Amino acid sequence: MKFTKMQGCGNDYIYINGFEEHVSQEDKPALVRRISDRHFGVGGDGAIFINPSGEADFEMEMYNADGSRAEMCGNGIRCVAKYVYDRGLTDKTDISVVSCGRIKYLQLFLKNGKVDTVKVNMGAPILTAEEIPVKPLPGKEGQRIVDEEIEVQGKTYKMTCVSMGNPHAVVFVDDVEHLEIEKIGPYFETHERFPQKTNTEFVKVLDRSTVQMRVWERGTGETLACGTGCCATVTACILNGLTDNTVTVKLLGGEIEITWDGSDGAVYMTGPAVTVFDGEFPA
C-alpha cells in the first residue's frame, strides 16, 4: 500500500489515497495502529484516507494513532489540500473537504507551483455544553462552559469548552513549558464530564495577539500541534476577554494564525502544510 507522510507544524499523519488504495472499513483501525507506530510502523499521530465525495470535492477520513475515528483535524485538512493539489487531483485553489458530514472550505496559497500554506474556514465554534459534548453542572443545562472549575486528580483548574467538530477543553496556565502534560493529560481526556473524551489545550497568554499552547490529543497523547485545538484556544481567549480577534498560536512544532470575530461567525485558520516522504507499507 502506497502512502505519503505529511505534517503541519509537526502534527504528522500518514496519508492514503483512497482513490487508488482500497482498505475495508473493518481493517482500517488495525492498519492505522500498525502504520502509526513510531517503532514498528511508519510513525505518526494517526492516518488520513483521502476519498472521493459526492457532497464536497474530497472526503477526509481521519483516524487517531490508537485506531479510533476522529471528526476533524485542522493540520490534517491543510495537508489534504496540499496532497490533492500537488498530486494533480485538482487544479483549483479553492476547494471543499468533508469530514464526518461537516464540510470545510479551504483556500490554497502556492509557492513555486506547490501548496505552501492553507487558509481554512473551520466553521463557527460550538459552545453549548451538550453539543460539545460536556456534561453540564446541575442547573447549567444548555449553557456555555466558560472559565468553569473542574477538579482533576485533586487539583482545581478553570476550563473553557469548545467544539470545532471535535471536543476541546481549554485550560489557562502560568507555565506551559514545564507542565507535566503526560501526567495530567490522560486524566483530562477520560474525565467523567467528557462523554466522548476530550482534547485538552494548556495555554499561556503572552500578549493580546500571541499565546503559547501545548495539547493533549484524545486517542494520541501530546502532539506538536493541533489545528482545531488552536481554533478552540483562540475562541476561549476571546470569550474570556484575554486577546484580540487575530492571534498567533505558538506550538511545539511551529505557529498557526487564528481569526474569530467573537460572534456566531466562522473561525479561520492559516498555517503550513509539508510533504515529508512517500513510501509503501504492507497492508
pLDDT of 270 reads 98
- Are residues 260 and 228 in contact, defined by beta-carbon separation less than 8 angstroms? no
Alpha-carbon distances of 281 from 29, 33, 36, 157, rounded to whole Å: 15, 13, 11, 43
150-184 burial code (b ≥16 CB/10 A, e <16): bebeeeebebbbbbbbbbbbbbbbeebeebebeeb
Question: What average pLDDT values come out for the chain (283 residues) when binned by 10 residues?
Answer: 98 98 97 98 98 98 96 96 98 98 97 98 97 96 97 97 97 97 98 98 98 97 96 98 98 98 93 98 87
Q: Which residues contact 271 (CB under 8 A, 6 or more apart)?
A: 8, 9, 74, 75, 78, 117, 118, 227, 230, 254, 255, 256, 257
pLDDT score at 271: 98
Give this prediction's pTM. 0.93
**Out of 9, 73, 161, 231, which one is annotated catalytic?**
73
Strand segments (E) across 175-253: 199-207, 210-217, 221-223, 246-251
Q: Which domains are present in the chain?
A: 2-121+272-280 (3.10.310.10), 129-265 (3.10.310.10)
Q: What is the pLDDT of residue 264?
A: 84
- Of residues 226, 230, 231, 237, which has the active-site annotation? 226
Q: Which three cell numbers stand for residue 264?
A: 456566531
Q: Is 226 designated active site?
A: yes
Q: Is residue 221 left, alpha or beta, with left meaning phi > 0 and alpha meaning psi from -120 to 50? A: left
